[in-house]
Structure 1
Amino acid sequence: MESLHSIGSPVMWGGFIAFVFAMLALDLGVFHRKAHTVSFKEAGAWSAVWVSLSLAFNAFLWWRFGSGQGMEFLTGYLIEKSLSVDNIFVFVVIFSTMKVPAIHQHRVLFWGILSALVLRAAMIFAGVAMLERFHWLIYVFGAFLILTGVKLFIQRNHAEHPEDGWLMRTARRVIPSTPHFAGQHFITVENGRRLATPLLMALMLVEASDVLFALDSIPAIFAVTRDPFIVFTSNIFAILGLRSLFFLMAGAMEKFTYLKVGLSGVLVFVGAKMALVDVVHLSPAISLGVIALVLGSSIVASLVKARNTPPHTPNGDASPEAPRSAPSPAKS
């Protein structure tokens, strides 16, 4: 395991945090000042921007501190980016079941991810401090990730219902709410009462889901490095690009049939790496290669299956024998 010495100086910490707030202000105050439905083209452009910024920062670390730290950041970023994709599955379910209009989804994700930045920062520093004082926790984290990966594989086809969870049931009992939307507002007034709109309820679910996923993703990156600056920056870059990635992939999530299999493989691998940290020593380059291979294989297999899956008729029945030039005959 790497030393707990951090490469981040106060100037670098301050500069990075200022950069994050500047980008968020630019995003909300300029590009999304008015609510609108995020198009596929816009989501693709923003995704390219965030990935490019992440790789540029990676190049800076590589140049300034060497290939070791550069490889650690790149590996950590890939882990966080891949595991954050699992959030998208849940976000799709949340917005669908809560019937959140597409025009307001960006606003919910923006404030949800903004709070996630603060929560993750607290969890990262707490995790680093705990590992520094209690080395044996590394084995606990490793076992936890292995069990989580196995659970994800077993429940890969399990339907998510976050709107029926204990958090939403409790919130509906405690917080006065209304089933009616009030534009992009989280709070509205009806008959003189201040009530939470479905947007606020969706925001609470988004924040809760991110906290749950952080319990997996943050320990996972500790298998690569315990440098707080690398852990924090790789996490934040992955989270900042999550909104655009959601709008880019939300309509095609059903095509990635084997993605959760790949994610479970990543969790099991990094969990085993943590559990065997005092026995087996893998370089960041090997870890990066294994993770990229597992994820790449699951994505390619998913796309191959989606391409070979026969088209479906409106009633949901596959009709591979129906000619493409004419509609399939309706069943009586």
Structure 2
Amino acid sequence: MLTVGTPLMWTLFALFVLLALALDFFALSRQGAHRVSMREAGVWSLVWVAVSFLFMGWLWWYLGGLGDDATARELANTKAIEFTTGYLIEKALAVDNVFVFLMLFTYFAVPAEFQKRVLMIGVLGALVLRAVMILVGAWLIAQFHWILYVFGVFLLFTGIKMWWAAGQEPDLDNNPALNWIRRKVRIAPDYDGEKFFTFVKGVRMATPLAIVVALIGIVDVVFAVDSIPAIFAITTDPFIVLTSNVFAILGLRAMYFLLAGAHERFHLLSYGLALVLAFIGIKMLIVDFYKIPVALSLSVTFGILVITMLLSVFIPPKGKSGTAYPFAAKKGESSGSEKT
């Protein structure tokens, strides 16, 4: 499969990601458990967005965006737009991740000072998962062109399903994954700091924090299945696909703390994401008849997201009431116990 990524570019990008993760884990270990403020989340969100667009600018320059070769300039412009569009789509879909994370943290009453570590583990898992799925997806598309139609149908179906599900409160009490974990794993009734396992009356049990990490891993899989086909509708270049995904995910933790307090303000965003997925699905299905320009895809995606976010501000959400339930048991069951 054709790609602008040279061995040097792949190496430099891998080193950057490893360095970013190492610095993040180092900062996490130095700070320990603490509540992330809006200011801290806002600063880091801006840093990751700035780094992402600096990378896009470097890529554009590296490919000849300032050169005299018209072919190189056209390639540089195309790849820069592809990266920006892919980044925007993945960032928008990541907002849906944020709202699901918020639902999990609320349901399990995860203390604010523990959320940062859980999200860091979730980001690491998402990075590994996306890398594997992108490589597999790129190979499938290179071998079987018709797989694009499969992706297109899947995205169109997902968009329709997301539209109908928008505004509905997920029922975690009846969630199959959570119920399976409850049947297979002994869950402690309370947290034990940031530990994933503890002892209750001499019995080793998983803490609620471990269950949240497991569920976030499942969420990563679900959202990767949605987002990977979406980015392949924009470009089939593995380097652009992976880099746009990774940069969107690296800022996910900071974006969570920035948006967690304002999730009701963007209550219509799910409708916008549904339209974006449906549009991308249609784009894939008609690719052999009409190839929608990447610049137009960027404009449509950006326009849909901006409109739905503005509408969210001016149209108040319907009244909702939510309750956090005991994590070790379903409603009505006792959760009291003694740790040793």
TM-score, normalised to structure 2's length?
Answer: 0.87
Structure 1 contact 62–71 (Cα < 8 Å) conserved: no
- Percent identical pairs in the alignment equals 46
CA contact (8 A) 2:28 2:117 kept: no
Decide which of 150, 168, 173 is 2:178's aligned counterpart: 168
1:19 corresponds in structure 2 to 16
1:83 has 2:93 as partner: yes
Of the structure 1 ranges 18-27 and 215-224, higher mean CA displacement relative to structure 2 is found in 18-27
Q: Which moved more, 1:87-96 or 1:17-26?
A: 17-26
Alpha carbons 2:155, 2:280 under 8 Å: kept: yes
State the number of aligned residues.
307
Q: Show the counterpart of 2:274.
A: 264
* 2:72 corresponds to 1:72: no
Match of 1:30 among 22, 27, 48: 27
Given the alignment, which residue of 51, 54, 62 partners 1:53?
Answer: 51
Contact 1:98 1:163 in 2 (8 A): no
- Which segment drifts farther, 182-191 or 44-53? 182-191
CA offsets 1:13-63 (integer angstroms, 9 cap, x no match): 222122112112212212553110000000000000100000000111111
Q: Contact 1:256/1:302 (CA < 8 Å) preserved in 2?
A: yes
Residue in structure 1 matched with residue 200 of structure 2 by the alignment: 190
| Match in the other structure for 1:62 | 60
Aligned-partner SS, 1:194:
strand
Q: CA shift at 1:257, angstroms?
A: 2.3
Which deviations, in whole Å up to 9, do the C-alpha atoms of 1:150-171 show, x marking residues without a partner? 1111110111234642222222
The CA deviation string for residues 49-101 of structure 1, in whole angstroms up to 9 with x for no partner, is 10000000011111122111111100000010001111111111100011110
Q: 1:310 to 1:107 in 2, by over 3 A?
A: closer
1:130 alignment counterpart: 140
Q: Secondary structure at the match of 1:188?
A: strand
CA contact (8 A) 1:86 1:260 kept: yes
1:265 and 1:294 in contact (8 A); partners too: yes
User: Partner letter of residue 15 of structure 2?
Assistant: A
Distance 1:310 1:155, change over 3 A: closer
Structure 2 counterpart SS, 1:183: coil
1:246 matches 2:256: yes
Query: Does the CA-based 8 Å contact 1:72-1:230 persist in structure 2?
Result: yes
Which runs of 5 or more structure 1 residues have no equivalent in the other structure? 313-332
Pair 1:231–1:163, CA change in 2 (3 A): farther
Pairwise CA RMSD of aligned residues?
1.8
CA pair 123-51 structure 1, distance change in 2 beyond 3 A: same
Offset, 1:177: 2.3
CA distance in 2, matches of 1:14, 1:162: 42
Unaligned 5+ segments in structure 2 are 64-75, 321-340
Q: Find 1:216's aligned residue among 226, 236, 246.
A: 226
Task: Report deviation, 1:173.
Answer: 2.0
Asked if 1:112 is matched to 2:122, the reply is yes
**Which 10-residue stretch deviates more, 60-69 or 218-227?**
60-69
Q: Which moved more, 1:37-46 or 1:278-287?
A: 278-287
Residues 68/55 of structure 1: CA separation in 2 closer, same or farther (3 Å cut): same
Judged with a 3 Å threshold, the aligned counterparts in structure 2 of structure 1 residues 310 and 105 are, in CA distance, closer, same or farther, namely closer
Give the aligned partner of residue 92 of structure 1: 102
Q: Is the 8 A contact 2:167 2:267 kept in 1?
A: no
Structure 2 CA distance, aligned partners of 1:74 and 1:149? Answer: 21
> Does the 8 Å CA contact 1:94/1:163 hold for their aligned counterparts?
no
Q: Secondary structure at the match of 2:35?
A: coil
Q: Give the partner amino acid of 2:34.
A: H
Shift of 1:284: 1.3
Native 8 Å contact 1:187 1:194 kept in 2: yes
Residue number among 303, 307, 310 corresponding to 1:293 in the alignment: 303
1:180 aligns with 2:190: yes
Mapped to 1, the partners of 2:290 and 2:301 lie a distance apart of 17
| Alignment match, 1:326 | none
Residues in 2 aligned to 1:162 and 1:206: alpha-carbon distance in whole angstroms: 13
1:9 alignment partner in structure 2: 6
Tell me how far 1:172 sits from its aligned partner: 2.1
